[in-house]
Amino acid sequence: MSTPIPQPPGYPLLGNLTDIDPKSPFQSIKQLAQKYGEIFKLSTLGSDRYILCSERLAAEACNETRFVKGVSENLKQVRNGVGDGLFTAFHGEHNWELAHRTLVPAFGPLGITDMYDEMYDIATQLVSKWARTDPDEPIQVTEDYTRLTLDSIALCAMDKRFNSFYHEEMHPFVDAMTGFLRESGARSRKTRLELLLNQGPTRQYEKDIALMRSVAQEVIDKRRRTPTDKHDLLNAMLFGKDPKTGERLSDESVMNNMITFLIAGHETTSGLLGFTTYYLLKNPEALRKAQEEVDNVVGRGPVRFEHMSKLPYIEAILRESLRLSPTASAFSVTPKPGTTEPVLLGGEYLVPPNAILICWLPEIQRDRTVYGDDAEDFKPERMLSENFTKLPSASWKPFGNGARGCIGRPFAWQEAVLALALILQNFNLHMADPGYSLQIKQNLTIKPDNFYVKVSLRPGIDTTNIERRMFGDLAASVQERATTAATVKNVGDLKPMTVLYGSNSGTCEGLAQKLALAGNSQGFSAAVKPLDSIVDQFPKEHPVVLISASYEGCPPDNAALFTEWLKTADESKFKGAQYSVFGCGHTDWMQTYQKIPTLYDDQLSSKGAQPIIPRGHTNVATGTIFDDFDAWSDQLWSALGGESSTVTEGLDMELSSRSRASHLRYAVQDALIVKNELLTSVDASSEKRYIEFRLPTNASYETGDYLALLPINDFSVVSRVLRRFTLPWDATMKLKKGSHSTIPTDTEMSVSLVLASYVELNMPATKKNLRTIASYMGDKADTIDLTALDQHSPLDILEAHPDLDIPFSVYLSMLPSMRIRQYSISSSPLADPSIASITFSLAGDGTTSSHPGVATNYLKKLQPGSTAQVSIRKSPAPFNPPADTSIPLVMICAGTGVAPFRGFVQDRAARITSSKSSNNFAPAILIIGCRDPAIDALHTEELKKWEAAGAVKLYYAYSRKPELSDGCKYAQDRLWRERAEVAALFNKGAKVLICGSSALGKGVNEVVAQITVDREKEKGHEITEEDAKKWWEKLRNERYAVDVFD
């Protein structure tokens, strides 16, 4: 038996019309939702709607196998102005399908990247206006945010400048749009008789529609008169073809979608920025953290595209703001066409087969079963990384659902992150009225009403230098002229290859074209085709690459036929084929992340096809699409026996080449990455990883040796250099013979390759560097204290002084040659002589540090199947376990200092296993310090297994959880607690090894000194702590050894 659905008492004919305040329908629905719970019914003028207010019911409604978009009464009225545009089209309307397939690529990652500079242009206009506003003058931020977002969508998508920041009044389009949306909502609540009797609002309504359409027509006519090859939304609408049918949009459809984008493309984002500003000013700690993140990531220079993916707290703030105040407060669904029986929701509520279900986001996104008792509070932390990805699927839906979700989401997101970063970088904000409580202004969307703030420039910024800060790198110039080089082989020498793509947004198609272009210099002639084109004819005679995305777990439109065929085709169609898969995905859709690429890989391998390399993937949310794809491509070419190119498009172009190592004078060889694992939880303050290398056949090592690595600079840092000197990615250079000792001379080289592979980009500037930079400053040199910048790299200094015209050749001469990095091997050759592993901590990832560790961030990105250039180096003799197993061993470490000791213990365990007894082995103890056993205790399962085998006795100290380690916070505290056992072993000749930071070494010295003083006192001898330290120091490298890595 079903549960009755509650409904407010109503009136005949009118129904619940009087329950909705026409001036504030948002507040009315909110109050009813709080009164009636997870579902209730409203009837107005004979039309029934069911309001869903819980995540569990919304999750069902979002199931696109059962429900489709329902066009609400409001949207039916909006159709008067925009017809069957993307937002207002009924389910199944042909023009929607045509426009969706044609226009989605314009908002794909490649398109959004291209829009950044114009978006930045408009955002800096807002900053410039605020910079010149009196700090005591209140600013109605929602109006300026409307100027920002309208001008951004108009310029980026249509090459139209409204120049809203140069006029006191808003553009007439805004007033017409506001009136149109307001009256559309009002008309949805009026009877036909009311509309007939009150013609005044109707006449104004028609005028507003006419004005909007005239503005759109003006933009269209201008483009037709003066065509451009710009890859923007307008060109896609006017000249783009549906990839499925080959049709073009009709003039009417172009007009409808033009107005749709002008409305939807700015109204919701301006509201998002308004609400976000309000929540930040109400939560000073969140504001402080946000400003601190911007300072750490962006610094004082321009906000660049590469910063967009490195501001996780800013993104969390925006998500949390949208959770509490979704600017598009609801979306409607209805049972799929053909449904004839009542539909059961939540296992208890029956709704008619033609019901309109409204997912009411302000309540769904406050569902306490999902967000807890503090669901009403603004807490950005709940939207960070894994916390966000673990949320139930329907608990955060501000951009709508599935195929009818907002296609402009990437545009809006980049715009909001950029605007917020620029504002926080340059201004301090506070409410004009400290007592202001949030008020809602509603048309089709919502935004804060009567919300004013006051802004003041942050210390060190004034109206004169703010322009240089924002545009510094654009003014930089170089004296050298960059040239472009490309290597092309004779067509007759090229081997065949097929690159297949499944793509709606154009991203995967772009990657396919990129791979095919690179294939030419690798010895391959690649044909690029959509996946659907090879149904029933999968190539088996040459390599095949499949590049695809998932869309809510479904294949792209041009891969749907292939996907179904692949599932059912006989394995004879694939047996013996060589293939590799690369997938694009977004972790905001965690439940279906990489679903389709994974399916391709699994199906092909299960049907006898042979993978060339493991499946590659990228998370669009991180903004590293091209980095990830380039790294994977390098693995692919290496596996296919391709050649290195003199022109690099990514970081790893010479990963397997020995020429770099030869010029740098390092004896390294290629080692294969077997495993790359994250050891710490997401809550760890620093990421720690474990990598296994398969060594070349002629390489061997002993327990305790070091692995030396020749790294490559991160492409984000290389890009900073190219931007600072306005060099294209494919610029080349040629050094005269004898002009450099480690960079190849008399040879044309890619500038990107040289920067990535041959020089250090993050090393602090030397005094000589500082003097060189000063020599280009002229009169300004006396006003700037360069000595205060001695911990900054030359690049940092040049970015901070964008007007400094220093030649690239001079900058390059400042950079030291790339140096090799050394890591303790954390394995024993007795376990597998071909495998050497390292355990390391990530040294800054570019998010919280402007100087990401070159080697550790390079290591982090290495995928299994790729290679790195390494060599084996012997460790100092003192820092080795005793060869005589009858000598006890005491090991003390903290953090990744456990690395060599893991190898020592693994070695002892292997020896004990082979001898089938631990009786011939003296005791060994290992004291380990870390923060929290649940967060950053490393290799615990293996160590416990080896402890059970008798190889070691473990003692832990947890600095954040000392109650779990007998009150010991640090490794030296545990040493003090176990001093009796340690002293007994030491008296039996034990060797003591210490690995960790200098703070650990100092702490151990202090404890040893105290133990020694106490021991002598028990013997009746009085010695000072200083005497004890001198005695201990004399034993260094004989009875104890230290390996300090900071």
Catalytic positions are 268, 399, 406
Please give the Cα distance from 277 to 52 (Å, whole number): 29
- The alpha carbon dihedral of 124, 130, 132, 135 has a sign of negative
What are the angstrom distances between the C-alpha of 770 and each of 506, 811, 817, 882? 46, 11, 18, 48
Please give the Cα distance from 651 to 729 (Å, whole number): 11
- The alpha carbon dihedral of 660, 664, 669, 671 has a sign of negative
Please give the Cα distance from 597 to 599 (Å, whole number): 5
Please give the Cα distance from 799 to 768 (Å, whole number): 18
> Tokens 């009837």 — which residue?
43
Strands 688-694 and 446-448: unpaired
Is there a contact between 609 and 559 (Cβ–Cβ < 8 Å)?
Answer: no
Question: Which of 358, 267, 284, 371 has the alpha carbon at shortest distance from 319?
Answer: 371
Q: By three-state DSSP, how is residue 256 classified?
A: helix
Please give the Cα distance from 1031 to 474 (Å, whole number): 62
Letter for the amino acid at 59? A
- The alpha carbon dihedral of 784, 788, 790, 793 has a sign of negative
Longest dimension (CA), the chain: 111
Is there a contact between 426 and 458 (Cβ–Cβ < 8 Å)?
Answer: yes
- Phi/psi-derived region of residue 347, left when phi > 0, alpha when psi is between -120 and 50, beta in every other case: left
- 929 φ, ψ (degrees, to nearest 5): -110, 135
Tokens of 658: 């020995």
Q: Tell whether residue 995 is among the known ligand binding residues.
A: no
Size (the chain), residues: 1046
List the end-to-end C-alpha distance of the chain, in Å, as a whole number. 69
What are the angstrom distances between the C-alpha of 313 and each of 382, 384, 656, 742? 10, 7, 37, 41
Inter-axis angle of helices 312-324 and 251-282, to 10 degrees? 100
Q: Which distant-in-sequence residues (6+ apart) come within 8 Å of 474 by Cβ?
A: 302, 726, 802
Q: By three-state DSSP, how is residue 51 classified?
A: strand
Tokens of 106: 């314009």
Please give the Cα distance from 429 to 273 (Å, whole number): 14
3-state secondary structure 523-567: CEEEEEEEHHHHCCCCCCCCCEEEEEECECCECCHHHHHHHHHHH
Q: Which residues of 751-767 are buried (b: 16+ CB within 10 A; e: fewer)?
A: bbbbbbbbbebbbebee
Tokens of 255: 């007009």
The helix (H) or strand (E) run that includes residue 719 is helix 715-724
Please give the Cα distance from 594 to 618 (Å, whole number): 9
117, with CB counted inside 10 A (0-12, 13-18, 19+), is exposed
Q: By three-state DSSP, how is residue 824 classified?
A: strand
> Tokens 């960059």 — which residue?
482
> Tokens 């600079």 — which residue?
713
The helix (H) or strand (E) run that includes residue 814 is helix 808-814
Give the count of beta carbons closer than 10 Å to the beta carbon of residue 287: 19
Please give the Cα distance from 615 to 628 (Å, whole number): 12
Which residues make up each annotated binding site? 406
Which residues make up each annotated binding site for heme? 406
